[in-house]
Structure 1
Amino acid sequence: MGIITLWVDASSTNYLDINKSVSASNNSYLIKNVNIIPMYQDTMLVDKMVYINDGVIKKIEDSIEVSDIEVFDGEHKYLTPGLIDMHVHVWDRYELGLYLSNGVTAVRNLWGMPLHLRIKEDVVEESIFSPSFFTTGPKLTGSEFIGDDNLNLTNPKEAEEAVISYKERGYDFIKTYYGLDKALFDAVIEQAQISEMDIVAHPSQKVPFLYHLNTQIKSIEHAEEIVQQPLQFDLDTLKLQPIIDSISQSNHTSYSPTITVFHNIYQMMMDDSILDSEALQYMNPLIKMDDSKRQFERWYNAKQEDPSTADRIKKQHDFHLTIVKKLHEAGVPIICGTDGGIGVTLPGFSIHKELAFYKEAGLSNYEVLKTATVNASQTHAIMKQLGTIEEGKVANLLLVDENPLTNLTTLENPTYVFIKGRKLNRKTLDSFNEKAKNRKNLIATGLRYVENLIIEK
């Protein structure tokens, strides 16, 4: 029965199969009449031609002559690098289409399971339409942080073996989480260096916050962790500044604030009907039934018990914007991450909220765009071919109606999304949304989650 359920669910996402799409199978052509936002500097290249061959940008010039090739008219619209969401939780393949429809052409999944290794394999083999896909292994925690969503480590030897195993199985990165004490953390860091695996750190409360500035750790997650750990919920900018300075002085650490997922706590307290909203129809049904419901009830009840809770959460959110502003002013690379796929944080759609928060924090449009393009691509060596429009880079691109340097909202509805050079038009992208809406794959998602528990526990 389980095998049949999984087969039916896989068949329901065959609209993402590249070999079944005649119109989007071509990944070599010439784009003409296009304005380019290259993102390696704050500029626009006007009325250019772009030659893409086998999914890679080969030439950008005023005029290019290539024989026997499709010519695509950019109609004087704006070509930008595709967006990169550096903190997502993917639960099914429907979500891959949701990311693409919102202009997200690369994701970093931070809760690895066997499902993600299969997705990664299909993406590498270019058999499905998907954002470029990178994933950590399961979250590494200490022995006391119990939960079926992570791997509990009890001694340094286990930590070493976990890192080695994740490398062998094909995971790209290591994710550290709550509960790692110094001995465990040191073992993870040491083996990650040996195995040449970057670490993504959700800060552990068992070590000092600044312990996460080790050179093997390429990004720290969540602005709220600065509030909760070193600041101990004291929203004091004077106490914040030394922390910001220390992060800045590390010279190698990016920060992913994930403003949206925390702000959604406030949204849940303000909207009693959020679980029944049309937007939540795009969430994976198992997550909506379990995680979304539990989070809503937690914060709804907190507000009932103490009405001032909503105001406290809003003040902390506002302080997160201050953190983003201070990080930016200190020269810390900010990378856009949403925590999409959990709670009420929608996959794909949420990136536009996240970017809007960075704008509200005081970043210019160009600086906002950097967080989801060049900054993100520079975080890990295996992502360096993304993030800008330059010769030799992968053709993960968006064609939008307006200049995003003056209007960020144009990114919400790209006319075309190019994934490794293959064009997806707006009609196709909208169909990806419709396919994912109210999908009936609760049992299939549960089976894949059980598979993970059997393998990891």
Structure 2
Amino acid sequence: MNKFVILIGIFFSAALAANDKLLIENITIVSSHLSAPNTNMNVLLNNGRIEQITSQKITDYDAKIDGVDKFLAPGLMDSHVHVSSVPGMGFGVEPLAVKHPQIVAAYYEQQPKSFLYYGVTQVLDPNPGLNSKHFTNAANHPDYFRCEVITSKDTFPYVEKTDSLSQSMYRYLVDEAAAANKPDSAESLVQQIASSGASCIKLYFEDGYGDANQWQLLSSATLKRIKVEADKHNLLIVAHANAFDMQQLALAAGVDVIAHGMWNWGQFRRHRDVPAEIAATLDVIIDEQVGYMPTQRVIAGLGEVMLPTTASSPQFLAVTPAPLLDWYQTPQAQWFKEELRIGFDGMADNAIAEIFLYGRIGKGNKVIQYLNHANHPILLASDFPGSPSYANQPGLTTFQEMKAMANAGLSPAQVLAAATINNAKQFKMDADYGTVQVGKKANLLVLERNPLASVEAWDSIETVILNGKPIARQVLVAGNEKSLN
């Protein structure tokens, strides 16, 4: 029996029970498994999954969305976000965040909605910190997956944290000399991570920012022990590495995914094209089918924090709660901007911005283009917020990362794949996510424009469907008082 029809802009998500059937009628399906959009289709959702896709009329449903002139796409997956981090304040346990608990609380309440506002229905957090529960306890939040970090007291990022509360984020500290049966050995830590339900392990290949090399790295023997044990437990290894030499070390350690673009080219930094030595390393990534997360927004966020209009754009305002916006106008919130200024010896703010937005991003684009030319699948991963910059905000950063992919030369179809099926396949989730197909989870987006025509269409979301439940985009806007319960 038909209970009600969901009209454009009017949604009764609270009235839908978990086992109610939702029909999306006469819609065009856009999905990477299709050679072309599938028009005038009827899609039935039941118990949080896609039950039926047909061109025939469906009469048994409880609620209906009119899909005429609309497009249905899979929900997006951002495979590199940090939900414990507060843009401009760092992780929620760090001193600035501790000083402003009410601002942090307002931000944590809005954050899941902001991801959903931009169609992100799955996230992977490669460093959960201590505050991920605020995210998973929200009434509506993207499906949450995580890696756990293995580091040591002598290696990054632990060595960069100076206060005990920040250091407490790192629970899996390896003793490189410990025998395999010891609780802090490489083998035991991997076993603990596997038992925790994590999807992957994150390792840091970082000996210093830029050209610096003051930090130790895990030994090759320890990396081998981690890799052997991770393979036993079917855990992927994600490598933080953004420099030419660090990505070489990561590949030598047999990692499955490299997180970050190769922005730091070392001795080749003045080259305009991809040097042969770097090309050879990229060929290894291609040949060994290593996943690649360009995370261009990390660099963009460093540049945009120097621009006075960043925190006032309509897109920024839509996903950022008012208390945090107000704080961004205070002198205290300019601390990171001041640090950047010191590092550039009195250069003008716009000149500093250009160094990041055109120089280092340019190197990342060349790497993306090289990999894309070889048809190597790129992964949508924003590394939100990517740095202490407040320029990157949840959800919006994901959309901006998609635009950065398009700017680097990916077609709209390739951006769609990067945001959906590529991530699902890489992290072995494609049985549930990544395409609009029968049996998969009903994490879907109803769009007003065709995302195969332009990447800008991803900002035309009308409805987010999360585990079969429709949520109007307008109720996700920061400061909106409508309840999602």
**If the length of structure 1 is used for normalisation, what is the TM-score?**
0.79
- Output the CA distance in 1 between the equivalents of 2:250 and 2:59: 50
| Counterpart code for 1:420 | N
The Cα shift of 1:69 comes to 3.4
2:31/2:436 contact within 8 Å kept: yes
Moved more, 27-36 or 229-238: 229-238
- Output the CA distance in 2 between the equivalents of 1:335 and 1:234: 27
Report what 2:465 is aligned to: 418
Say if 2:184 is the partner of 1:143: no
- Output the CA distance in 2 between the equivalents of 1:188 and 1:61: 47
Moved more, 182-191 or 288-297: 288-297
Q: Alignment partner of 1:220: what SS?
A: strand
Q: Alignment partner of 1:88: what SS?
A: coil
1:365-380 map, 5 Å: 365-380=412-427
2:441/2:467 contact within 8 Å kept: yes
More helix by share: 1
CA 1:293–1:173: 2 relative to 1, 3 Å: farther
Say if 2:282 is the partner of 1:244: yes
CA 1:369–1:291: 2 relative to 1, 3 Å: farther
Report what 1:212 is aligned to: 250
CA 1:309–1:77: 2 relative to 1, 3 Å: closer
Deviation per CA, 1:69-88: give whole Å up to 9, x if none: 33332123100111111110
The Cα shift of 1:347 comes to 0.8
Report what 1:153 is aligned to: 174
| Counterpart code for 1:228 | N
- Output the CA distance in 1 between the equivalents of 2:248 and 2:73: 35
- Output the CA distance in 2 between the equivalents of 1:171 and 1:47: 40
Report what 1:196 is aligned to: 234
CA 1:292–1:372: 2 relative to 1, 3 Å: farther
Say if 2:50 is the partner of 1:57: yes
1:228 is aligned, of 253, 259, 264, to: 264
**Structure 2 unpaired stretches of 5+:** 1-12, 85-107, 162-166, 179-183, 207-216
Say if 2:317 is the partner of 1:296: no
1:55/1:395 contact within 8 Å kept: yes
Give identity over the alignment, percent. Answer: 23
Q: Alignment partner of 2:28: what SS?
A: strand
Say if 2:372 is the partner of 1:328: yes
2:303/2:355 contact within 8 Å kept: no
2:263/2:361 contact within 8 Å kept: no
Output the aligned Cα RMSD. 3.3
Q: Alignment partner of 1:392: what SS?
A: coil
Deviation per CA, 1:88-109: give whole Å up to 9, x if none: 0102353111100111111111
| Counterpart code for 1:111 | N
- Output the CA distance in 2 between the equivalents of 1:141 and 1:66: 59
Q: How many residues are matched?
A: 407
| Counterpart code for 1:331 | N
CA 1:290–1:201: 2 relative to 1, 3 Å: farther
Report what 2:141 is aligned to: 130
Deviation per CA, 1:388-410: give whole Å up to 9, x if none: 11111111110011111113222
Report what 2:129 is aligned to: 113
2:114 is aligned, of 98, 110, 114, to: 98
Q: Alignment partner of 2:275: what SS?
A: helix
1:267-278 map, 5 Å: 267-269=304-306, 271-272=307-308
- Output the CA distance in 2 between the equivalents of 1:211 and 1:384: 32
CA 1:140–1:285: 2 relative to 1, 3 Å: farther
1:70-81 map, 5 Å: 70-81=63-74
Report what 1:14 is aligned to: none
**If the length of structure 2 is used for normalisation, what is the TM-score?**
0.75
- Output the CA distance in 2 between the equivalents of 1:108 and 1:231: 33
Moved more, 45-54 or 27-36: 27-36
CA 1:58–1:25: 2 relative to 1, 3 Å: closer
CA 1:24–1:285: 2 relative to 1, 3 Å: farther
1:180/1:204 contact within 8 Å kept: no
Q: Alignment partner of 1:75: what SS?
A: coil
2:268/2:275 contact within 8 Å kept: no
CA 1:241–1:425: 2 relative to 1, 3 Å: same
The Cα shift of 1:413 comes to 3.6
1:305-324 map, 5 Å: 305-306=346-347, 310-313=353-356, 314-324=358-368
- Output the CA distance in 2 between the equivalents of 1:55 and 1:161: 37
> Where do 4+ consecutive residues of structure 1 move more than 4 Å?
23-27, 117-120, 204-208, 229-232, 272-278, 283-294, 306-311
Moved more, 55-64 or 102-111: 55-64
2:62 is aligned, of 60, 64, 69, to: 69
- Output the CA distance in 1 between the equivalents of 2:194 and 2:379: 24
- Output the CA distance in 2 between the equivalents of 1:372 and 1:347: 15
1:82/1:106 contact within 8 Å kept: yes
CA 1:117–1:230: 2 relative to 1, 3 Å: farther
| Counterpart code for 1:371 | A
1:85/1:351 contact within 8 Å kept: yes
- Output the CA distance in 2 between the equivalents of 1:116 and 1:417: 22
Say if 2:475 is the partner of 1:434: no
CA 1:118–1:384: 2 relative to 1, 3 Å: farther
| Counterpart code for 1:155 | E
CA 1:188–1:338: 2 relative to 1, 3 Å: same
Report what 2:445 is aligned to: 398
The Cα shift of 1:112 comes to 1.8
CA 1:69–1:324: 2 relative to 1, 3 Å: same
1:245-264 map, 5 Å: 245-251=283-289, 253-264=290-301
The Cα shift of 1:35 comes to 0.6
The Cα shift of 1:25 comes to 5.2
The Cα shift of 1:241 comes to 1.7
- Output the CA distance in 1 between the equivalents of 2:367 and 2:333: 27
Deviation per CA, 1:83-138: give whole Å up to 9, x if none: 11111010235311110011111111121235436755x5xxxx831111111124
1:21 is aligned, of 14, 19, 26, to: 14
1:268/1:300 contact within 8 Å kept: no
